[in-house]
Chain A
């Protein structure tokens, strides 16, 4: 549950929307349960349903959507890990940069770099070709890099989909 909710959170950047997306996902998952091949397939199918719910959400008029501005964590930010060279400034730059890139590029980057899915697995979830995943990842990283640079961040993102 928590990993699914965190995936939703990375996709949409809003806690309440993420919870709503997971709720919608669970409803669809329950109804589709008899068709799911095996327990191992549940995770992939759940991610697929979640992505679909979120991409549909992206079509909604903005004024019907909950506020997604100035996202503030519910708790104090004590998660920075200096050992990994990722400080709070980098995290905030990344947050704002993610909000600027198109939904499918954002989804691809999150699935590849946070969920650690392969190109094949990501293509199955997004229902597209592996080539599309690679190009969307490359473009997403380029867009992130441009956004972070505009914000004055000193983080340099990976060149492209090198994984």
Chain B
């Protein structure tokens, strides 16, 4: 019989598996200083840009050349009117194995003003027009393959007609420069600073009905992954949180979710086709875990409807 004490002991045993964490204090300090410097530069640039735009708007208005063409763009829509966002959530290599050095602890600067600040009064961690914590600003690009994949998606007709389709304006797309891309149109995302990963193709959409909104993300790639059954671990037979499916054409797929109060607030279907095309479809009614409640009681697509994506694409 396990009571509080046993649960605590069990968690302690798990926690104690982690010894000598490879954390680079110096790198963290350097990164923090770079971010602070970058934010100052971006703020100054943004302020200057606003002044320039205001001057342009005034000029156009006074010369009567169609002031309606210069208006307040939608927030976060124009890269020239919002900060690029900081490179937050950097992930330095965990390969450094130097032990934690107490000599590098950063103490508060002498004489620093200490202000009372409750957790609830702390400023939000995200700029509403910039990337959220852990996300780097990303460039959205559309090439011929992206166009082909968009056509394949349209031809497959996989979204039930009762769902209204619109751009995903949730936290999922906040890092994309220029704002959320058109719904169900594929493109590639290239993070600032480049990426050491091959680009995949992604499409976003918000699916809404009278019960609320769900957020869909489709990712297509080729040749990177093996059996698509491991987003949350191997699928145990009989588990209510995952299933697997083998298609007649050789496509192998798996579906995963979390068990919880309402089953399946976040669901993922991953598939690998015989030609190496990999398809990952994730749908969520709780894209922002900072929100207290999901945006809909459950996701609007069944596992079978998610599985239908598995054979809809060829890279």
Contacts and interface: CB of A to CB of B under 8 A. Distances in A.
A23 B93 CA distance: 10
Interface centre among A35, A105, A110, A157 (most CB of B within 10 A): A35
A85 B6 contact: yes
Interface stretch (B56-64, B68-76, B254-262, B303-311): B254-262
Contacts of B2: 85-86, 90, 155-158
A61 B120 CA distance: 29
Contact of B233 (A35, A90, A99): A99
A28 B35 CA distance: 10
Contacts of A127: 119-120, 290
B302 interface: no
Interface of A: 1-2, 5-7, 9-10, 15-16, 18-20, 22-24, 26-28, 30-38, 44-45, 48, 52-53, 55-64, 67-70, 73-75, 77, 79-81, 84-86, 90-91, 94-96, 98-105, 109-110, 113-114, 116, 124-125, 127-128, 132, 139, 143, 146-147, 150-151, 155-158, 162-163
Contacts of A35: 115, 117, 122
B260 A139 contact: yes
B271 to A, nearest CB: 12
Given A27-B28, A62-B231, A139-B260, 4 more contacts: A6-B18, A53-B89, A56-B133, A84-B6
A6 to B, nearest CB: 4
A36 B128 CA distance: 24
Contact of A101 (B15, B260, B287): B260
Given A23-B92, A69-B230, A94-B14, A162 B21 contact: no
B106 A30 contact: yes
Q: Which of B23, B120, B284 has the most CB of A within 10 A?
A: B23
Nearest to A143: B259
Nearest to A30: B32
11 contacts: A23-B91, A35-B122, A37-B116, A38-B114, A53-B133, A61-B217, A68-B233, A69-B232, A94-B11, A101-B259, A156-B1
Nearest to A94: B10
Contacts of A53: 89, 133-134
Contacts of A18: 18, 21
Contacts, number: 247
Contact of A10 (B6, B15, B92, B197): B15
Residue from B6, B27, B278 whose CB has the most chain A CB atoms within 10 Å: B6
A63 to B, nearest CB: 5
Nearest to A44: B119
B113 interface: yes
Contacts of B162: none
Interface in B228-248: 230-234, 236, 238-241
A70 B165 CA distance: 37
B259 A146 contact: yes
Given A63-B280, A100-B241, A100-B259, A81 B23 contact: no
Most-contacted residue by chain B among A116, A124, A157 (CB, 10 A): A157
Interface string B5-18: 11111111111111
Given A27-B31, A34-B112, A156-B1, A61 B280 contact: yes
A22 B239 CA distance: 32
Interface string B83-117: 00000111110100000100000101100111111
